A and B are shown apart, each in its own frame.
Chain A
Amino acid sequence: MTSGARAAVTRPRDRFRAWMANHRRVLGETLVGFRRDWGTSLMTWLVLGIALVLPLFLYLLLMNAASISGGFEGKPRISLYLDSGYSAQSGKALAQRLADGNPAELVVYISPEEALAEFQSRSGFGDVLNSLPSNPLPGLIEVTPSDIEPGALRRRASEYESLPGVSMVVMDVAWIERLFALLSLGERLVVALSLVLAVGMLLVIGNTIRLAIENRRAEIEVVKLVGGTDGFVRRPFLYMGLGYGLGGALTAWLLVQISLWFLRGPVELLAQSYQNAYSLQGLGVIETLGVFVASGLLGIIGAALAVNKHLREMDS
């Protein structure tokens, strides 16, 4: 009699199918539950969304700050001043060689004549320069590196200094260093804030799940009594935690989109006044996915902690 009862569920394929069916059923019940207790659900989502949105705002601020400073001040350029005897032809050849070495980068040769013309138009010393018997400016090569990490820049500069025909290498690295310091400070702030708020989210979700467990205490006891595993008991609550996490992420995402929409107009106006076509950067696909995955995981973990605690208390 019992062997007959067992045979129906011990074949691996059947067991997998039953397991899947159980997940489907629990998922359905979870959705129904969220709809039934929509007041609590909405509140929880809002609290989680607000907790999530704080580090997101800071992150976006940083990202935009980095890209604005890149756009307005120009990427750092390394200027290689050539020996005065260097011909325009060999200058161009050197620039070509440098460009071939780093195809991704902008390498421009500026001849002494071009340098003079630019200096005249910019400085207002045109007449003085005109009175000189010959052009005092050397030719130069301007490199716009793609890697602007200060250490890499310094290595690059010393590399260029050792090239034959290069008399001087000039670059402005101080503001980049300051920028990098600020950005990495900001990054750490984002990380620290995220960690603190992650703990907060765990507590919020854990507490919400704890209340849900409290409401289903009798059911859990019966489930355990008729042979339900801890996994079976845990499953609905894990789904609930996942639902809270994902809902919180969605709320945060919406808050970010609304804020961006709210700020976009003024920021573009401001940029136009600087003759700049800057538009605010939002969350990319990867970042958005990351927020949902992280928040969903936090939901599951918070729920698991709450259920495991309850199960331990039941057993003792």
Chain B
Amino acid sequence: MIRFDQVSKRYPGGKDALSRVSFELADGEIAFLTGHSGAGKSTLMKLVIVMERASQGQVFVNGMNVNRVRSGQIPAIRRNIGVVFQNHQLLFDRTVFDNVSLPLLIAGFQHREIGRRVRAALSKVGLADKERVLPITLSGGEQQRVGIARAVVNRPALLLADEPTGNLDPALSQEIMNLFDQFNQVGVSVLIATHDLDLVARMGKRQIVLHDGRLQEGV
């Protein structure tokens, strides 16, 4: 699903955020991406969705070398990837329904199909009764779950989550992780960046560890 081949990323005027990183995430696999703050986790995720381009090496997503794609092809790639990014949160002037339906509107689904899928996604994350409310009235954990519903509503083959439990207490964090695990069990490939090592240990899944932009693959 994802393959990095000797990938380096250097931001303009900075040191290497990633150096010669190679790893593979198989179809239907789930893995945690860990490492200290500034290790390069977010950068790695941005390379996958082509928000940034590698300075060296190749990034393959679903067999496609995304380093080479024209900017016009990027939207099509992103429609097949669900993202839960910390700094790209919900739109607070839109209802939960409107937030979750956005990827479907973009993909050009029809009205009735949109309603069906949004309700399905919301009920999967346990928010079936909240579609009409504004996100601001929800708790942190609920907001995060709306974000997850938005990420999976288009039934992507790959799910990326960057620090999805950042501000949540351990119980809620565990719930969120279980949710990702459930999506993985129905065949979605999942990559989760987190620094919550206790939680990762409890989940008992594969870990990909970054340190100063270099890979130290563990379990």
Q: Tell me the A residues contacting B by CB distance below 8 Å.
A: 1-2, 4-5, 8-9, 14-15, 17-19, 21-22, 25, 218-219, 221-229, 232, 315
CB A21 to nearest CB in B, in angstroms, measures 7
Which of A9, A17, A21, A226 has a CB less than 8 Å from the CB of B102? A226
Confirm or deny: B97 has a beta carbon within 8 angstroms of a beta carbon on chain A: no
CB B49 to nearest CB in A, in angstroms, measures 7
A1 touches B71 (CB 8 A): no
List the B side residues contacting A18 at CB < 8 Å.
108-110
Which of B106, B111, B150 has a CB less than 8 Å from the CB of A232? B106
Confirm or deny: B75 has a beta carbon within 8 angstroms of a beta carbon on chain A: yes
List the B side residues contacting A4 at CB < 8 Å.
155
List 14 A-B residue pairs with CB atoms under 8 Å apart, sorted by A's residue number: A4-B155, A5-B154, A5-B155, A8-B109, A8-B110, A18-B108, A222-B91, A222-B102, A224-B75, A226-B83, A227-B77, A227-B79, A227-B80, A228-B106
Confirm or deny: B38 has a beta carbon within 8 angstroms of a beta carbon on chain A: no
B88 touches A8 (CB 8 A): no
Confirm or deny: B130 has a beta carbon within 8 angstroms of a beta carbon on chain A: no
Contacts A1-B157, A4-B155 given; does A225 touch B107 at CB 8 Å: no
Confirm or deny: B76 has a beta carbon within 8 angstroms of a beta carbon on chain A: yes
List the B side residues contacting A21 at CB < 8 Å.
110-111
Question: Which are the 10 A-B pairs with shortest beta-carbon distances?
Answer: A18-B108, A227-B79, A227-B78, A226-B103, A9-B108, A5-B155, A228-B106, A227-B75, A229-B75, A2-B157
Separation of A22 and B102 alpha carbons in the complex (Å): 12
5 more CB-based (< 8 A) A-B contacts, given A8-B109, A9-B109, A225-B85: A9-B108, A18-B108, A225-B49, A232-B106, A315-B71
Separation of A18 and B77 alpha carbons in the complex (Å): 20
Separation of A226 and B187 alpha carbons in the complex (Å): 20
List the A side residues contacting B154 at CB < 8 Å.
5, 226-227
A227 touches B110 (CB 8 A): no
Confirm or deny: B156 has a beta carbon within 8 angstroms of a beta carbon on chain A: yes
Confirm or deny: B113 has a beta carbon within 8 angstroms of a beta carbon on chain A: yes
List the A side residues contacting B109 at CB < 8 Å.
8-9, 18
B102 touches A223 (CB 8 A): yes
CB A17 to nearest CB in B, in angstroms, measures 7
CB B101 to nearest CB in A, in angstroms, measures 11
Confirm or deny: B105 has a beta carbon within 8 angstroms of a beta carbon on chain A: yes
Interface residues of B in 174-194 (CB under 8 A from A): 186-188
Separation of A14 and B72 alpha carbons in the complex (Å): 21
Chain B residue nearest in CB terms to A14: B110
CB B55 to nearest CB in A, in angstroms, measures 15
A22 touches B91 (CB 8 A): no
Contacts A225-B78, A226-B78 given; does A17 touch B156 at CB 8 Å: no
Separation of A141 and B8 alpha carbons in the complex (Å): 94
A225 touches B106 (CB 8 A): no
B107 touches A227 (CB 8 A): yes
List the A side residues contacting B103 at CB < 8 Å.
226-227
Chain A residue nearest in CB terms to B107: A9
Separation of A5 and B109 alpha carbons in the complex (Å): 9
CB A277 to nearest CB in B, in angstroms, measures 60
List the B side residues contacting A9 at CB < 8 Å.
107-109
